[in-house]
Chains A and B, each alone.
Chain A
Amino acid sequence: DQQVKQNSPSLSVQEGRISILNCDYTNSMFDYFLWYKKYPAEGPTFLISISSIKDKNEDGRFTVFLNKSAKHLSLHIVPSQPGDSAVYFCAARDTDKLIFGTGTRLQVFP
C-alpha cells in the first residue's frame, strides 16, 4: 500500500510561471515532510522540509504548504526556471525512515 502518493506523473510549465506539485499521504503519524529533486544518474537532492506542526515553510523560490486535515502537501516553485526541470519526490518521515512517493516529472519550457 502506497502511504505517500504523487498522482501526477508529469507536469509541464512555462518559464516564469508557478509550478505546483502535489502529494497526498495516508498516515497521520508522519511528523516531517520533505521534497527532493532528482536529475538522471544522480541521487536525490534535498529541497525543503516542513514539520507537521507547521502549515507553511518558505525558502527562496520554494514554498511547501501542509494541510493536515486533508493529508495533503504541495510544493510551489515561483518563478519556474528551465533548470528546475527534474523529477520531484515527496517524502514523509515514519519513525526514523523516509517514505517516498513515486515522483512527478517537471518540465519547464521557455
Chain B
Amino acid sequence: DTGVSQDPRHKITKRGQNVTFRCDPISEHNRLYWYRQTLGQGPEFLTYFQNEAQLEKSRLLSDRFSAERPKGSFSTLEIQRTEQGDSAMYLCASTSGTLDYGYTFGSGTRLTVV
C-alpha cells in the first residue's frame, strides 16, 4: 500500500462547471476525511466518513458540495456550479483511529476556477 492517493493532482475548470475528485485511502483505514486548504491557511475540515457513513459535515460545505464513500473504500468529492472562491487545495486523509501515527494525507488536488 503506497499511502493515500488523490486524483487528479491538478484541475482547472471554468466557473459554473462541475468537478469531481477521487480519494483512495490506505486500505485498512476505516475513517476518511476531506479538508480544504487555501493560501496562507491551515487545512480546514470539510467532512468525514467512518466506513461508508458520512458522520459530520462542516458548515463550510455548502449545498454545492457533496461527498460519497459508497463501499467504505474510495471516496469522491463533487463540487457543482464551481465559483472562483472554490479555488483551493483539496486534501484527503485517512486513519484507523489511533493518533499515535496521525492522519495520513494524500498529495491533494489543486483546483483552479477561472
CB-CB nearest in chain B for A43: B105
A interface residues, how many (CB within 8 angstroms): 24
- Determine whether the beta carbon of B31 is less than 8 Å from that of A102: no
- Chain B residues within an 8 Å CB radius of A51: 99
Interface flags, B75-106, vs A, CB<8A=1, else 0 = 00000000000000001010000011111111
- Determine whether the beta carbon of A46 is less than 8 Å from that of B44: no
A104 to B30, CA, bound (A): 31
- Chain A residues within an 8 Å CB radius of B106: 43
- Please give the distance in Å from B65's CB to the nearest CB on chain A: 16
Tell yes or no: A56 within 8 A of B by CB. no
> Which residues between 65 and 100 of chain A lie within 8 Å of chain B, taking CB atoms?
89, 91, 93, 96-100
A4 to B42, CA, bound (A): 10
In the complex where A42-B107, A45-B105, A46-B104 touch, is A34 in contact with B99 (Cβ < 8 A)? yes
- Determine whether the beta carbon of A49 is less than 8 Å from that of B102: yes
- Determine whether the beta carbon of B41 is less than 8 Å from that of A102: yes
- Please give the distance in Å from A108's CB to the nearest CB on chain B: 21
In the complex where A89-B43, A99-B45 touch, is A46 in contact with B107 (Cβ < 8 A)? no
Tell yes or no: A36 within 8 A of B by CB. yes
Interface size class of B (residues with CB under 8 A): 20 to 34
A91 to B103, CA, bound (A): 11
Residue among A4, A45, A100, A101 with most chain B CB within 10 A: A100
- Determine whether the beta carbon of B102 is less than 8 Å from that of A36: yes
In the complex where A96-B48, A99-B45 touch, is A46 in contact with B31 (Cβ < 8 A)? no
- Determine whether the beta carbon of A98 is less than 8 Å from that of B108: no
In the complex where A34-B102, A96-B55, A97-B56 touch, is A44 in contact with B33 (Cβ < 8 A)? no
Q: Which of A36, A46, A98, A99 contacts B101 (CB 8 A)?
A: A46
A residues neighboring B (CB under 8 Å): 4, 32, 34, 36, 41-47, 49, 51, 89, 91, 93, 96-103
